[in-house]
Chains A and B, each alone.
Chain A
């Protein structure tokens, strides 16, 4: 195994040991598993009623709403702020970054290792939460829901949601890892990016494309229209096809990571500043 791969593995291992399921990240776990709790309650309540008031189609539409408005615009977004901003900023606050800087690690390798550790944590949390919530929301339909998932469109939808959740972690992760290198308070860039992402439907077509949410939204299997009265302000743009959206997002992620790695090369240890 090459030296760089061994070093990335070492960083990944240490970061996972330090951060995954640590007490400091309790609010991220709460964000991730909030929908699991809600869909679980929904299953239990509907099972107790012994009679469906709605259809599988309605439940999948509700899940699409949860995914669009909670997972994408709130949960994964702030989850990534919590996980990725702290990869460097957290080390500075705890005065432990110098241990990495005193090993013969290229800064680019350090950025890659930390990013992969963050991505692994975030993906396990958010893809896991998405998959569990999807499976729970229609669980009270019993065999009919199993049939919908395993013999109908359900599995494809689940795959798409999981892919979108993973891509969201990758894209927002790169944004917030970079912002953690530049900003002392991660909430400032987070607020700016959040506003930008949430006004996306109302932006002109060319500006829409400079965002993560535009590509992710187009990859979702069920579209949720903007409710009135805001729908009148929506500006339509051609959706990005799959073969543009996925490589495009990954390319933007790589560019952000490359910039973060270049910036990390010039950073110094100055905890008191």
Chain B
């Protein structure tokens, strides 16, 4: 088992008779991984399991080779910004981060240095000495983020980390996640904001009703959704002529001409075959193609096909 992966092997978790997640097997590499799914799909259960807050009913979990029932090792490697918007009473932002750093066993001076660095990173230096109770929702979110990153964990688990942040703070947070992902850390993010998930993620895990519906890089996940024709947008000089040629081939099921007269949206069941055909048509007919781009290989579309639609399966 690799020490650089987060692995779930046939993991199930039940809350009494209620299903949390069922028979999940995953292998999460470093980088930014987004957990996507509707409420109750098992995202938070998955996060709580990998941080040791709850235990699996069945199966085995390893986080960088560490079992979650070993908090002494696990919590040095993992930082978790949970969804609970609650804080110990009577603390300032600085005291909040500092107090829990002390429990990691750092010397007080080191705790002070790390606390300031974490607060600086999330843009909370000015408000650090104000009581947390006086913070806005976005500030509380950033304080929790600072607490999760202050011990410099290798794995960051962030449950809806963009909630409550204003657009500027949101952009800064996304940049941080991407920076950590590029630095080789595991950044596990759950979010409902699908276009932001698209921007952030190196890979996605789609969950529905406690099951993993799909996982991997979003383009490859989209490629595996065979029962939904791929949408491709072509910008070219003679879209009418292109559409006529394409319909001869039976794997192109639909073509929509854009009102600007320069774009055509095609739906095909065989994307690879389509690209070969397009090359041939361009060579034969002299149509000038300006751009060709997939129109539905984003998280939003895949989410609609697999979860939000009529239950299409891979």
User: From B73, which residue of chain A is reached at the shortest CB distance?
Assistant: A104
Given A269-B48, A270-B15, answer yes or no on A104-B103 (Cβ-Cβ < 8 Å). yes
Q: Would you call A273 an interface residue if the criterion is a C-beta within 8 Å of the partner chain's C-beta atoms?
A: yes
Between-chain CB contacts (< 8 Å), 14 pairs: A6-B105, A7-B105, A17-B90, A17-B95, A18-B89, A98-B84, A100-B100, A101-B71, A104-B75, A104-B105, A105-B71, A106-B72, A268-B55, A269-B54
Docked CA distance A24–B90 (Å): 11
Query: Using a Cβ cutoff of 8 Å, how many contacts connect chains A and B?
Result: 87
Nearest CB of A to B158, in Å: 13
**Do residues A103 and B75 form an inter-chain contact, with CB atoms below 8 A?**
yes
Indicate which residue in A17, A96, A99, A270 contacts B54 across the interface (CB closer than 8 Å): A270
How many B residues have CB within 8 A of the partner chain?
Answer: 32
A9, A98, A106, most chain B CB atoms within 10 A: A98
* Chain B window 102-115, contacts with chain A (Cβ cutoff 8 Å), 1 for yes, 0 for no: 11110000000000
**Do residues A18 and B76 form an inter-chain contact, with CB atoms below 8 A?**
no
Interface of A is mostly: helix
Contacts of A10 in B (CB 8 A): 99, 102-103
Indicate which residue in A22, A100, A101 contacts B90 across the interface (CB closer than 8 Å): A22
Q: Would you call B277 an interface residue if the criterion is a C-beta within 8 Å of the partner chain's C-beta atoms?
A: no
User: From B87, which residue of chain A is reached at the shortest CB distance?
Assistant: A96
**Do residues A268 and B100 form an inter-chain contact, with CB atoms below 8 A?**
no
**Do residues A102 and B54 form an inter-chain contact, with CB atoms below 8 A?**
no
Q: Would you call B295 an interface residue if the criterion is a C-beta within 8 Å of the partner chain's C-beta atoms?
A: no
**Do residues B53 and A98 form an inter-chain contact, with CB atoms below 8 A?**
yes
Q: Would you call B86 an interface residue if the criterion is a C-beta within 8 Å of the partner chain's C-beta atoms?
A: yes
Q: Would you call B281 an interface residue if the criterion is a C-beta within 8 Å of the partner chain's C-beta atoms?
A: no
Q: Would you call A271 an interface residue if the criterion is a C-beta within 8 Å of the partner chain's C-beta atoms?
A: yes
Nearest CB of A to B206, in Å: 24
**Do residues B51 and A14 form an inter-chain contact, with CB atoms below 8 A?**
no
Nearest CB of A to B278, in Å: 52
Q: Would you call B257 an interface residue if the criterion is a C-beta within 8 Å of the partner chain's C-beta atoms?
A: no
Indicate which residue in B53, B99, B100 contacts A269 across the interface (CB closer than 8 Å): B53
Seed contacts A9-B102, A10-B102, A269-B48; 15 additional CB < 8 Å A-B pairs: A10-B99, A14-B88, A14-B99, A17-B90, A96-B86, A96-B87, A98-B53, A101-B52, A102-B53, A102-B79, A102-B100, A103-B100, A103-B104, A269-B53, A270-B54
Q: Would you call B116 an interface residue if the criterion is a C-beta within 8 Å of the partner chain's C-beta atoms?
A: no
* Chain A window 247-273, contacts with chain B (Cβ cutoff 8 Å), 1 for yes, 0 for no: 000000000000000000000111101
Q: Would you call B292 an interface residue if the criterion is a C-beta within 8 Å of the partner chain's C-beta atoms?
A: no
Q: Would you call B34 an interface residue if the criterion is a C-beta within 8 Å of the partner chain's C-beta atoms?
A: no
User: From A17, which residue of chain B is reached at the shortest CB distance?
Assistant: B90
- Which residues of A in the span 67-94 have a Cβ within 8 Å of any Cβ on B? 94
Contacts of B53 in A (CB 8 A): 98, 101-102, 268-269
Q: Would you call B94 an interface residue if the criterion is a C-beta within 8 Å of the partner chain's C-beta atoms?
A: no
Given A6-B102, A13-B99, answer yes or no on A99-B76 (Cβ-Cβ < 8 Å). no
Docked CA distance A40–B91 (Å): 35
User: From A270, which residue of chain B is reached at the shortest CB distance?
Assistant: B54
- Which residues of A in the span 162-198 have a Cβ within 8 Å of any Cβ on B? none
Docked CA distance A95–B91 (Å): 15
User: From A268, which residue of chain B is reached at the shortest CB distance?
Assistant: B54
Q: Would you call B41 an interface residue if the criterion is a C-beta within 8 Å of the partner chain's C-beta atoms?
A: no
Docked CA distance A212–B147 (Å): 42
**Do residues B86 and A94 form an inter-chain contact, with CB atoms below 8 A?**
yes
* Chain B window 219-249, contacts with chain A (Cβ cutoff 8 Å), 1 for yes, 0 for no: 0000000000000000000000000000000
* Chain B window 17-54, contacts with chain A (Cβ cutoff 8 Å), 1 for yes, 0 for no: 00000000000000000000000000000001001111
Contacts of B90 in A (CB 8 A): 17-18, 22
Q: Would you call A3 an interface residue if the criterion is a C-beta within 8 Å of the partner chain's C-beta atoms?
A: yes
**Do residues A273 and B84 form an inter-chain contact, with CB atoms below 8 A?**
no
Contacts of B99 in A (CB 8 A): 10, 13-14, 17
Q: Would you call A116 an interface residue if the criterion is a C-beta within 8 Å of the partner chain's C-beta atoms?
A: no
Nearest CB of B to A270, in Å: 7
A-B interface, 6 closest residue pairs, ranked by CB to CB distance from nearest: A10-B102, A103-B103, A95-B86, A269-B53, A104-B75, A95-B84
Contacts of A6 in B (CB 8 A): 102, 105
Q: Would you call A127 an interface residue if the criterion is a C-beta within 8 Å of the partner chain's C-beta atoms?
A: no
User: From A24, which residue of chain B is reached at the shortest CB distance?
Assistant: B89
**Do residues A271 and B102 form an inter-chain contact, with CB atoms below 8 A?**
no
